[in-house]
Every structure is written in structure tokens, then in C-alpha cells.
Copies of this chain bind each other. A is one copy, B any other.
Amino acid sequence: MGNAHICATTGHQPLMQAALDAAELGHRGANPLVGAIITDDDGTVIATGHHRGAGTFHAERDAITAAYAAGYTDLSSTTLYTTLEPCRHAGRQPACTELIEAAAITTIICATTDPTANGGGAQLLRQRGAEVTVGVLEAEAERLNHRWTLAQQQGRPFVTVHMAQSLDARIAAADGTSQWITSAASRSHTHRIRQRVDAILVGTNTAAVDDPRLNARDDDGEPSPHQPLRCVMGLRPTPAEAQLTAGRPEGQGWMQLRTREPLQALRTLAATGHSGHPVRHVLVEGGQSVLSAFFAAGLVDEIFVYTAPLLLGAGRASLADIGVTTLAQGLRCELDTADGGPVTLLDNDVCIHLAPAGPKGDH
């Protein structure tokens, strides 16, 4: 963006910031975080919307719906601020360009263009007579989804990682006991993530030692309506009696990814459908070897570290070698202010929400 353009759009910045703040209410995953606000001709905010994850309303539709719900019947003199260029192709949701045109909104301010092949909505809206500005708080909006954009560029699912550990980062005591280090509230939190991902991935060792069911359950322990694909990564065969198979043959709700390379596993998943959709969001739950491999490969997009108020002093560490030998090479992360914020108390556990830090100069 040239300086002249930045000056001309300065007045829009507080409103776009409000849309960015709304975007952060969503969950990271298959889709980017997007927020939208609608202002009347005085610049007063009359509706706010955000995207809540794949399969739910896009932010623009959420805001338009909120405006109608608030009693506004004519949006023709309003302005729509959205953190991402509206989509023009119908998918699981109708195209936002159609909804905007139907609402007769003709002034649209966007922070960024859509980096995916589904974009291009600005051009279409302009062709139909709308005034569309792109680039207000563009850097902030790009930073908000920098890992999601990278995952798109790499043609792989978005990766959320779960680390559940003691204060001294142990995932098991010296004798291997590990259930439960974290609190019931932390485990509920994880089950809410399981409910919205396409796949869960663990290593062969975790599958063998912990024998998890890997399904998504509600707080009463009942299976949730949506169940993610259960995946075991590694070369050691998954025992037929493993709970995650639910007694079914491979391919029916679970699969083995016969590789030690995270990128290969992710590309296999990207090519694998589940419940009628491609796998676009994976939750990697452990253990040490698998987590370390994902971090070493730079393939982690979002991190939840659940720390229990417990010290063990010995036992398996949450991570092993990730290719770092000196402090300056350490994998720097940034606190993630989206989706519940950077720190959440879960009973007596502290959950820290992070992402690998963006390119230098972003901050």
C-alpha cells in the first residue's frame, strides 16, 4: 500500500479494528478468522459478525443477519467492513457477494484480499456497481491469519497441537503413569477442540501405551454428533484391539499414516475425505515423538499448552529434539489473543494459547 492510500483510509481504521477484534472471537482451523461490522451512514456500528468455523456463517452473513435481527430492514446506505475480501463462490455456505448484493450494500471496506482460489469477490462487487476498498489494516489482518495462509500455500491442513503437561513439562511420571496429569476442565476443553476438527492424530507409541479412544465426547462422556477421523502416525501397526479402532477395520473412522514425516502425513490427510469433506484441520495430540517431529518440521500452526499445577521431576518430557541446539535457534512463539485469549484457567490448570511467531519485522 502506498502512503497516499494509507492516509486516505485512516478514518476507517478504528472500524476495521473492531472487525479484527470480532474476528478473534472465532476458532482457528480449516477457515481463517474473519470479522465484519456494518455501520450506518453516520459511521455508527449497527451490527457485528464473525466466522465461527467451517460449516457456519461467514462473517459478512453473520453481520448482515445481526443487522436484520436488530430491526434494520434497509441496509442500502450502510457500509460493510470485513477483514477478508468477500467470497464469490458458494461452498458449504452461499457466496458472500450474493448476500451483500441482496442486502443492497454498496460500500465495502476490506482489510485483505482472499489468498485462495475462492476469492475475487471484490472485482465482482465492483462490476455490479459497489464501491470496494481493499487494504485497511492489511498487515494486521494478514498477521491474524499468517499460519492459516502458510498452510494454504503448503497445500496442507491447519495443525493445532495439544500439549498436556506438568509444570516441569512431563507428560508421564517415571513409571509411565500419566492419567490424569491435567484437570477434568482441561480435558473438556480438548474435547471441544476435537468436536470441531476433521482429524485427530497421535503416534504409534501413544496409541499403544495410552490406548485412547480419540473420539470427541461431551462433558457427560457421551460421543458428540461430529466425530473426527482418528489417525495413528508411524510405522508400527496399530493393534486390532486398540480402542481407537472401535472394533472396525482401517478406513472406517480411523486410519494409519504409515510415515514418520509430518508433511507426508498431512498431505495424505489433505487428500483423504472424512464425513464428506476434505481433511482441512488436524489436532495433533502427541506423544513426544510426534509433537517433536511436527515442531521440527515447522508444521504447527496453533498450540494449546495445558499446564497442571504438579511437579514430577522425572518421566517423559513433552518434547524431545526439535532441531534446536542453541538458544538463538529456539522456536519462538507468540501468545494468541484469539479464541479465548492467551491464558485460560481450567480448574487449577493454566492453558496457554500460542502460535509460532510470524516472520521477523511483523512485531
Contact = CB atoms under 8 A, between A and B. Distances in A.
Contact of A350 (B313, B326, B343): B343
Given A173-B325, A311-B331, A333-B167, A352 B354 contact: no
A317 B169 contact: yes
A161 B319 CA distance: 24
Interface in A288-345: 292, 295-296, 303, 305, 307, 309-314, 317-335, 342-343, 345
B327 A309 contact: no
Interface stretch (A1-9, A57-65, A140-148, A174-182): A174-182
Chain B CB count within 10 A is highest, among A309, A328, A352, for: A309
A93 interface: no
A343 to B, nearest CB: 5
Interface string A171-192: 0111101110100000000000
Given A168-B319, A305-B167, A313 B292 contact: yes
Within the oligomer, what is the number of copies of this chain?
2
B342 A345 contact: yes
Given A311-B295, A327-B178, A334 B322 contact: no
A333 B166 CA distance: 10
A147 to B, nearest CB: 14
Interface of A: 163, 165-170, 172-175, 177-179, 181, 292, 295-296, 303, 305, 307, 309-314, 317-335, 342-343, 345, 348, 350, 352, 354, 357
Given A174-B324, A312-B327, A335-B348, 10 more contacts: A168-B169, A168-B319, A178-B327, A309-B354, A309-B357, A310-B330, A310-B333, A313-B321, A314-B321, A342-B345
